[in-house]
């Protein structure tokens, strides 16, 4: 059985390697579509392009427009066996880069790397998704699970409009593969992610003339400074809890006792229990000064992606398939969130299946071109694999 699987892995990798130039062209094309999250009209061209590619693979496609975003693209094979288990493949086509970034950060293809805005996060992952499905079609390989695809255009801003669709699809799928880039230059797969919360602390004080009646005022900025210290005291690095006050504003003039101030707080946690605990602590904050009002808003947005038993089974499957390709894969925890945080609540999830590189959201963003066929082959083998449900003996407990 292992020899047959090894032969399949070699055959898939060889097929993809012979198509590497086409993959490079495809990836370069995707990067050339500038598609910032907050520019819905910019999403049309890249979603059109991806939709046509999926149609060419004989997938039924459906475009769901967004109200404030570019919406999302859903696809599934036209010919499918009813009742067959499903596997969810998720990618996003939006980037953090504004329109005209290419004029100062052009696409550069060298012998080893391709650079450009969004190439690593995560247009390489989208390239892999398409070419893994092409490889399966070209080689006439049979899948035990039907692949369903969702490509959204709002992941970088929290997947606010696409999250409900992701939840619905995750609930009916045996597993989810997330095409975000792997972690670090060694390409570690992401088997855990921190949950993300946003809170706003507002203080209402009382204005007064800073020179004539300072004692009659209640300074909202001073109160907020006390609250910032309380918030920072909530950090617990051993438990993976981070609390960061990232934005502050308040006051109207140096000669006026500030009547209002506010702070925006970023919270990251490794598990839902920590998220509940830190939320309770933040909402329990009390004013330090007299005559001020404290208002707390917000909460945990994306839940943490935890190392559940189901997720670890999927990781062990990936490690075994990677070994067939000569990859010594490692797992890691990511500080940022993705759509994997959502799918992990409902089904076995593996994240970071994109191509190794570096520079997400940074000007040196790139991918290693020699990794593109190999990581696509890994995805192909994972799509072809049987369900991990009920496979404890094969994939470990």
Residue 391's pLDDT is what? 54
Where among 242, 274, 302 does a domain terminate?
Answer: 302
Strand partners, 2: none
Q: The domain that contains 252 carries what CATH number?
A: 3.30.70.360
Q: Are residue 341 and residue 277 in the same domain, yes or no?
A: no
CA torsion, points 17, 18, 20, 26, in degrees to nearest 10?
Answer: -130
Residue 185: HSE in the Cβ half-sphere, 13 Å Cα cutoff: 1
Q: Are residue 100 and residue 217 in the same domain, yes or no?
A: no
Please name which of 33, 82, 39, 69 lies closest in space to residue 53, comparing C-alpha atoms. Answer: 33
What is the chain's alpha carbon radius of gyration, rounded to the nearest angstrom? 24
Q: Are residue 336 and residue 296 in the same domain, yes or no?
A: no
Q: Are residue 165 and residue 24 in the same domain, yes or no?
A: yes
Residue 390's pLDDT is what? 57
Cα–Cα separations (whole angstroms), residue 212 to 209, 248, 270, 386: 5, 27, 50, 77
Q: Are residue 26 and residue 124 in the same domain, yes or no?
A: yes
Q: Are residue 89 and residue 216 in the same domain, yes or no?
A: no
Q: The domain that contains 78 carries what CATH number?
A: 3.40.630.10
Q: Are residue 293 and residue 310 in the same domain, yes or no?
A: no
**Domains identified in the chain, total number:** 2
**Rounded distance, CA 283 to CA 265, Å?**
12
For residue 13, give the DSSP letter. Answer: H
Q: Are residue 389 and residue 311 in the same domain, yes or no?
A: yes
Q: Are residue 318 and residue 254 in the same domain, yes or no?
A: no
**Rounded distance, CA 28 to CA 114, Å?**
8
Q: Regarding beta strands 86-92 and 175-178, do their DSSP bridges make them parallel or antiparallel, or are they unpaired? A: parallel
Where among 287, 302, 317 does a domain terminate?
Answer: 302
Place of tokens 């950060």: 105
Q: Are residue 111 and residue 203 in the same domain, yes or no?
A: no
Q: Are residue 133 and residue 108 in the same domain, yes or no?
A: yes
pLDDT tens digit at each of 397 positions of the chain: 344 588 999 999 999 999 999 999 999 999 999 999 999 999 999 999 999 999 999 999 999 999 999 999 999 999 888 889 999 999 999 999 999 999 999 999 999 999 999 999 999 999 999 999 999 999 999 999 999 999 999 999 999 999 999 999 999 999 999 999 999 999 999 999 999 999 999 999 999 999 999 999 999 999 999 999 999 999 999 999 999 999 999 999 999 999 999 999 999 999 999 999 999 999 999 999 999 999 999 999 999 999 999 999 999 999 999 999 999 999 999 999 999 999 999 999 999 999 999 999 999 999 999 999 999 999 999 999 998 775 543 343 3
290-320 per-residue burial string, b: 16 or more CB within 10 A, e: under 16: eebebebebebbbbbbbbbebbbbbbbbbbb
Domain with 56 in it: 2-193+305-395
Place of tokens 């490692």: 330
Q: Are residue 82 and residue 206 in the same domain, yes or no?
A: no
Where among 277, 302, 327 does a domain terminate?
Answer: 302
**CB contact at 8 A, 376 and 23:** yes
**Residue 66 class from Cβ within 10 Å (0-12 exposed, 13-18 middle, 19+ buried)?**
middle
């Amino acid at each position: 059985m292992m020899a047959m699987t090894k032969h399949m892995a070699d055959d898939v990798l060889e097929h993809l390697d012979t198509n590497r130039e086409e993959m490079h062209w495809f990836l370069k094309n995707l990067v050339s579509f500038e598609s910032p999250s907050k520019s819905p009209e910019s999403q049309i061209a890249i979603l059109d392009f991806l939709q046509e590619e999926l149609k060419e693979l004989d997938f039924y496609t459906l475009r769901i427009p967004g109200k404030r975003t570019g919406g999302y693209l859903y696809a599934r094979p036209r010919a499918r066996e009813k009742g067959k288990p499903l596997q969810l493949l998720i990618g996003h086509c939006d980037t953090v880069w504004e329109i005209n970034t290419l004029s100062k950060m052009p696409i550069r293809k060298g012998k080893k790397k391709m650079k450009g805005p969004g190439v690593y996060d995560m247009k390489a992952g989208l390239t892999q998704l398409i070419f893994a499905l092409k490889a399966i079609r070209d080689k006439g390989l049979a899948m035990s699970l039907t692949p369903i695809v969702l490509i959204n255009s709002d992941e970088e801003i929290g997947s606010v409009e696409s999250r409900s669709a992701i939840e619905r699809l995750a609930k009916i799928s045996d597993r989810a593969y997330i095409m975000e880039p792997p972690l670090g230059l060694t390409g570690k797969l992401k088997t855990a992610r921190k949950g993300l919360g946003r809170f706003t602390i507002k203080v209402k004080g009382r204005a007064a003339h800073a020179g004539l009646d300072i004692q009659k005022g209640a300074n909202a900025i001073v109160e907020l400074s006390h609250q910032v210290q309380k918030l920072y005291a909530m950090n617990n690095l051993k438990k993976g809890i981070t609390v960061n006050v990232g934005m502050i504003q308040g006051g109207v003039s140096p000669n006026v006792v500030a009547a209002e101030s506010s702070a925006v707080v970023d919270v990251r946690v490794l598990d839902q229990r920590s998220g509940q605990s830190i939320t309770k602590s933040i909402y329990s904050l009390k004013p330090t000064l007299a005559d001020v009002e404290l208002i707390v808003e917000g909460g945990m947005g994306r839940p943490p992606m935890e190392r559940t038993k189901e997720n670890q089974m999927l990781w062990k499957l990936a490690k075994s398939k990677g070994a067939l390709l000569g990859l010594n894969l490692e797992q890691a925890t990511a500080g940022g969130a993705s759509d994997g945080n959502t799918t992990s609540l409902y089904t076995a999830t593996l994240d970071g299946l994109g191509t190794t590189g570096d520079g997400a959201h940074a000007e040196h963003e790139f991918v290693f071109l020699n990794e593109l066929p190999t990581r696509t082959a890994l995805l192909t083998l994972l799509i072809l694999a049987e369900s991990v449900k009920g496979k404890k003996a094969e994939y470990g407990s």
